[in-house]
Structure 1
């Protein structure tokens, strides 16, 4: 059984947004085929793992991020990630996981998936395990978890877990409006099915125009090709989001859309200065909304601190 090689590992993982989310009709297994383009943005959760006498998870969040919906028991996705990795490698020594969340919960930004990806990487370094097989374990945990390991800008096929990096020559600036009251992803997919009941839903594809816009590096070109097949369902469940999107467009955003299953709304700015201007215009203008800003793409889960058994501390650049 592998012995721990470290006494503490700290990993940071980013939020994700969907530049495009194509959704097909529900399959016999209950899943929907997806063709999506992910981008990792500079909102982060930080996960710390240490050896412990029993499995445990604790959580805190940055101001304005509610964590009352985050389970701290066996269903927590980060805890499931640690236990899955331990099971596959015959490790019987538990860890304690601390989540420091900078990604809004239940906001369509894959905060739980970021936690799980970070935990897989952290535990692999804690236990001295190879990291080249983490993607397969990540796919078992959830559709967005593999992208949390990769980051950048990438396509996602299957249920979203089949990841391929895309050329993105731009730096894109985003303003996000988030809400404490989240939307249930299963409920949004159920509403999608209800809205398409009796209709033939085409197989989703990655738009060529989006791939070209990313390669060009132009945020203006990117703003013309963003899309989300779940947006109609999210607006059906929460019609007030339509007013949020309208507010962003009227404030001068290049484009606005619901992030994933929502309710977070994304607005694309021309550059950093425009992002600041757009955020200022939206601040306080939408009841119950918190305004966040971020840029992308950024790397996926990254070790940012590691303390070895002998007490040596590194800055995370681990061979």
Structure 2
């Protein structure tokens, strides 16, 4: 491995946000973590990360979304990703990251994880660390369950804590309308609320080990948007809508306006609405926008973190 230092070099990497088209949550284990079965799809809403050499590990953040709550220190996943790469390469210099966010913050779409994935790829390239895709995946798994998928992109089944990935075949393109909320939801808070609801109402998981519904996988393989819309589901949706009741109205509005399916993505609060095709997606986004909602049309699947 021959490490590289070029004070004038700037590496740009783009990574996608994700939707959880299916999310089944098992009971919490003794360590407090839940086993899950997730079906991820990377969509065309992106995070852009630029890496340059620096004296220390520093970060600057801008965005098309509210970035006021994004940490600008070692708590930021992208900074931690940069540190992991430099340690793995035995590099003792610093890294500066500039991030431009297009994915809602704390929106259930893995924006922070996409930042981390982009930083892994960017710093690996910047310093010539020579880490393989598999090695970057291993580093990403240390940062969170969504980071390995942001590296992989496309469509994939995630099991365990969501980071044990297996690619899933998705034929053609799927069009989504995303409706973001002004506020965010904390993932740990949503899981705690799910545990509370299950304890009070005895809403127990269907299976001891979570698994993705075969109907979702069949719909993806066939490319049939209507079948997919009928099969998508998220166990965290009840908890998310309990914590943020306005989400129930957004879900209902999406179906009323012709969406084939609707769900809260991940821990929320972003709502994902499935449209029949590109034209239907654009039309749905426009109607919801006219109704005062923050709606954007995207499509998937798209590739994971890539050099630009």
For the aligned pair, the TM-score class normalised by the smaller chain equals over 0.9
1:97 is aligned to 97
List aligned pairs for 1:161-180, cutoff 5 A.
161-180=163-182
Cα distance in 1 for partners of 2:77, 2:280 equals 36
For 2:250, what is the secondary structure of its paired residue?
Answer: helix
Question: Deviations along 1:257-304, whole A, 9 cap, x unmatched?
Answer: 111111111110000110111111111424xx3111100000000000
Cα distance in 1 for partners of 2:131, 2:97 equals 20
For 1:281, what is the secondary structure of its paired residue?
Answer: helix
Of 183, 186, 202, which aligns to 1:184? 186
Write 1 or 2 for the structure with the bigger share of helix. Answer: 2
1:70 pairs with 2:76 = no
TM-superposed deviation, 1:88: 2.0
1:224 is aligned to 230
TM-superposed deviation, 1:131: 2.5
TM-superposed deviation, 1:55: 1.1
RMSD, matched Cα: 1.3
TM-superposed deviation, 1:119: 0.3
For 1:262, what is the secondary structure of its paired residue?
Answer: coil
TM-superposed deviation, 1:116: 0.1
Cα distance in 2 for partners of 1:76, 1:153 equals 26
Cα distance in 1 for partners of 2:284, 2:116 equals 32
TM-superposed deviation, 1:197: 1.4
List aligned pairs for 1:59-208, cutoff 5 A.
59-62=61-64, 65-128=65-128, 129-132=130-133, 133-197=135-199, 199=202, 200-201=204-205, 202=207, 203-208=209-214
1:303 pairs with 2:307 = yes
Point out where structure 1 has 5 or more consecutive residues left out of the alignment.
Answer: 305-319
| 8 A contact 1:5–1:125 mirrored in 2 | no
Cα distance in 2 for partners of 1:96, 1:122 equals 11
1:46 is aligned to 48
1:262 pairs with 2:268 = yes
| 8 A contact 1:46–1:101 mirrored in 2 | yes
TM-superposed deviation, 1:2: 4.8
TM-superposed deviation, 1:5: 5.7
Cα distance in 2 for partners of 1:67, 1:130 equals 30
Question: Deviations along 1:30-75, whole A, 9 cap, x unmatched?
Answer: 111010000000000100000111110100002xx10011000110
For 1:295, what is the secondary structure of its paired residue?
Answer: strand
Closer/same/farther in 2, CA of residues 208 and 5 from structure 1, 3 Å limit: farther
Cα distance in 2 for partners of 1:130, 1:183 equals 34
For 1:283, what is the secondary structure of its paired residue?
Answer: helix
1:4 is aligned to 4
Cα distance in 1 for partners of 2:183, 2:218 equals 36
1:313 is aligned to none
TM-superposed deviation, 1:252: 0.6
| 8 A contact 1:124–1:131 mirrored in 2 | no
1:211 is aligned to 217
| 8 A contact 1:2–1:91 mirrored in 2 | no
Aligned residues: 300
TM-superposed deviation, 1:180: 2.3
Cα distance in 1 for partners of 2:257, 2:237 equals 20
TM-superposed deviation, 1:248: 0.5
Cα distance in 1 for partners of 2:264, 2:29 equals 24
Question: Deviations along 1:146-202, whole A, 9 cap, x unmatched?
Answer: 000000000001111011110100200011110121111111000000011174433
For 1:25, what is the secondary structure of its paired residue?
Answer: strand
